[in-house]
């Protein structure tokens, strides 16, 4: 009894009941060999006919024939699987139009748990002699899919670019966006006003270092190490004798040490004190100090100068009043008040009913301070003053919280 089946290469082979495989015609000869019954029982066994092309017409022994049969079948299985993966990948990629989807597809095939990676892992089960061939097949499929992925990626990227360019049409007839301009800070406005007033009276504006030696910040101003005035100023120290200046006086001491007299100067700048932030305090604020040294300078010069300053800053009707005070670096010392520019001195909520507002501290430079900087107090005298820039800005613009000055909110700044 003969059982005929279509063979792999389209040849016809027959399996006899005698467990023979008869090959009618390969290279013009008929080959025959025997196989085990369980192999012969497989209906597609005659795929084995294909192996004859590998044997150069030599008839293999049945064991190697069977091995070749299995090898061929494994290869076929693998080929089919790879073909499936490839087809699926290509059809998915053809329908893919976003980079995210593309990535999903890539991961599902080539990723750690991807289909192709799984298949590669199953190489463990492939007999060693078959691995190179199977491995090569997997690699070829992988390369093909990767090539296809890249092509698709390029297409998607181009499409995204083109869509973006189409959407970004520039309408040249639209009005241009206005460049947003900043606004001068109210502190700057007031500082420039103060500078204008003093420069008008012949003063120089001098700036100096914010990081200062303890000597220039305290000692040279008659505040020795154990002076209580030093305790009052909680200070940021950098080293034992270097600190963030607590006042701009150091700038003036440097000027005095230069020995060039007379001096008529103001020293505006940032100063630092270890203070908590609240409506009237900040660890960093601005001070303007002034210093005049010449022969025959008296308290009358101080009064006249500062009264003129107050009138220019707050209005011609402004009156001033000096109250005795104490500073270690001036003697005598005073605080100057101006008549309330809100009520004109009658008393209101703004001046807490007194009619007066405190503006600055001042005094005649202490002879010891002059001496320490090399100026002879017998020949020269001088006056000095210090004013908090934020304080007068808040007063002038009736701002009730100092913190507003540091927030730099353009809506706030634009009001001045």
Q: Enumerate binding residues for ligand 2NL (CB under 6 A).
A: 221, 249, 252-253, 287, 289, 291, 327, 329-330, 361-363, 365, 369, 384-388
Residue 71 or 287: which CB sits closer to ligand 2NL? 287
Residue 105 or 360: which CB sits closer to ligand 2NL? 360
- Tokens representing 142? 């992988």
Closest contact distance (angstroms) between CB of 315 and ligand 2NL is 22
How many Cα neighbours within 13 Å face the side chain of 241? 6
Closest contact distance (angstroms) between CB of 388 and ligand 2NL is 5
Closest contact distance (angstroms) between CB of 283 and ligand 2NL is 16
The angle formed by the CA atoms of residues 100, 103 and 105, to the nearest 5 degrees, is 115
Residue 31 or 255: which CB sits closer to ligand 2NL? 255
Let me know: does 205 contact 289? Beta carbons within 8 Å.
no
Closest contact distance (angstroms) between CB of 351 and ligand 2NL is 19
Closest contact distance (angstroms) between CB of 180 and ligand 2NL is 35
Closest contact distance (angstroms) between CB of 251 and ligand 2NL is 8
Please spell the DSSP secondary structure of 207-242, one letter per residue: ---SEEEHHHHTGGGT--TT-HHHHHS---EEETTE
Closest contact distance (angstroms) between CB of 271 and ligand 2NL is 9
Tell me the C-alpha distance between 373 and 365, whole Å. Answer: 12
- Tokens representing 158? 């181009």
**Which H or E element spans position 73?**
helix 62-94
Residue 48 or 246: which CB sits closer to ligand 2NL? 246
Tell me the C-alpha distance between 132 and 78, whole Å. Answer: 13
Residue whose CB is nearest to ligand 2NL in the complex, by number: 386
Residue 81 or 390: which CB sits closer to ligand 2NL? 390
Tell me the C-alpha distance between 269 and 266, whole Å. Answer: 10
Q: Is the preceding peptide bond at 186 cis, omega within 30 degrees of 0?
A: no
Closest contact distance (angstroms) between CB of 277 and ligand 2NL is 18
Residue 93 or 335: which CB sits closer to ligand 2NL? 335
Residue 345 or 361: which CB sits closer to ligand 2NL? 361
Tell me the C-alpha distance between 410 and 33, whole Å. Answer: 97
Let me know: does 220 contact 208? Beta carbons within 8 Å.
no
Q: What is the DSSP letter of 16?
A: E
Closest contact distance (angstroms) between CB of 185 and ligand 2NL is 20
- Tokens representing 13? 């082979």
Say if residue 394 is exposed, middle or buried (CB neighbours under 10 Å; 0-12, 13-18, 19+): buried
**Four-CA torsion 184, 187, 193, 199, nearest 10 degrees:** -110
Residue 93 or 271: which CB sits closer to ligand 2NL? 271
Residue 103 or 233: which CB sits closer to ligand 2NL? 233
Residue 355 or 386: which CB sits closer to ligand 2NL? 386
Query: How do strand 320-327 and strand 2-6 relate by DSSP bridges?
Result: unpaired
Please spell the DSSP secondary structure of 147-200, one letter per residue: HHHHHHHHHHHHHHHHHHHHHT---TTSPPPPP------HHHHHHHHHHHHHHH
Closest contact distance (angstroms) between CB of 370 and ligand 2NL is 8
Residue 72 or 286: which CB sits closer to ligand 2NL? 286
Closest contact distance (angstroms) between CB of 334 and ligand 2NL is 9
Say if residue 5 is exposed, middle or buried (CB neighbours under 10 Å; 0-12, 13-18, 19+): middle
């Amino acid at each position: 009894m003969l059982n005929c089946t279509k063979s792999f290469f389209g040849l016809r082979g027959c399996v006899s009941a005698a467990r023979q495989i008869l090959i009618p015609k390969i290279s013009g000869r008929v080959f025959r060999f025997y196989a085990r019954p369980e192999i012969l029982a497989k209906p597609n066994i005659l795929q084995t006919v294909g192996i004859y092309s590998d044997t150069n017409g030599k008839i293999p022994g049945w064991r190697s024939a069977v091995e070749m049969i299995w090898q061929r079948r494994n290869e076929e299985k693998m080929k089919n699987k790879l073909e499936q993966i490839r087809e699926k990948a290509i059809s998915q990629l053809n329908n893919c139009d976003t980079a995210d989807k593309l990535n999903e597809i890539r991961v599902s095939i080539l990723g750690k748990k991807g289909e192709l990676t799984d298949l590669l892992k199953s190489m463990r089960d492939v007999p060693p002699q078959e691995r190179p061939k199977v491995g090569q097949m997997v690699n070829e499929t992988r390369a093909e899919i990767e090539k296809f992925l890249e092509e698709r990626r390029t297409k998607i990227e181009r499409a995204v670019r083109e869509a973006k360019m189409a959407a970004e049409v520039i309408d040249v007839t639209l009005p241009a966006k206005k460049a947003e301009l900043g606004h001068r800070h109210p502190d700057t406005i007031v500082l420039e006003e103060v500078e204008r007033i003093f420069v008008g009276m012949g003063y120089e504006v001098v700036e100096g270092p914010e990081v200062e030696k303890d000597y220039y910040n305290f000692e040279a101003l008659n505040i020795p190490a154990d002076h209580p005035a030093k305790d009052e100023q909680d200070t940021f120290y950098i080293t034992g004798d270097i600190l963030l200046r607590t006042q701009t006086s150091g700038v003036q001491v440097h000027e005095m040490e230069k020995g060039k007299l007379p001096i008529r100067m103001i020293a505006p700048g940032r100063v630092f004190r270890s203070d908590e932030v609240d409506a009237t305090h900040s660890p960093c604020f601005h001070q303007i100090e002034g210093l005049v040294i010449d022969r025959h300078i008296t308290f009358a010069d101080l009064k006249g100068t500062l009264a003129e300053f107050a009138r220019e800053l707050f209005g011609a009707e402004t009156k001033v009043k000096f109250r005795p005070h104490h500073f270690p670096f001036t003697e005598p010392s005073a605080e100057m008040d101006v008549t309330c520019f809100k009520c004109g001195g009658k008393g209101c909520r703004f001046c807490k009913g007194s009619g007066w507002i405190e503006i600055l501290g001042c005094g005649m430079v202490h002879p010891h301070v002059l001496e320490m900087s090399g100026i002879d107090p017998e020949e020269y005298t001088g006056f000095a003053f210090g004013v908090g820039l934020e304080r007068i800005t808040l007063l002038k613009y009736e701002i009730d919280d100092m913190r507003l000055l540091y927030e730099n909110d353009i809506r706030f700044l634009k009001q001045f």
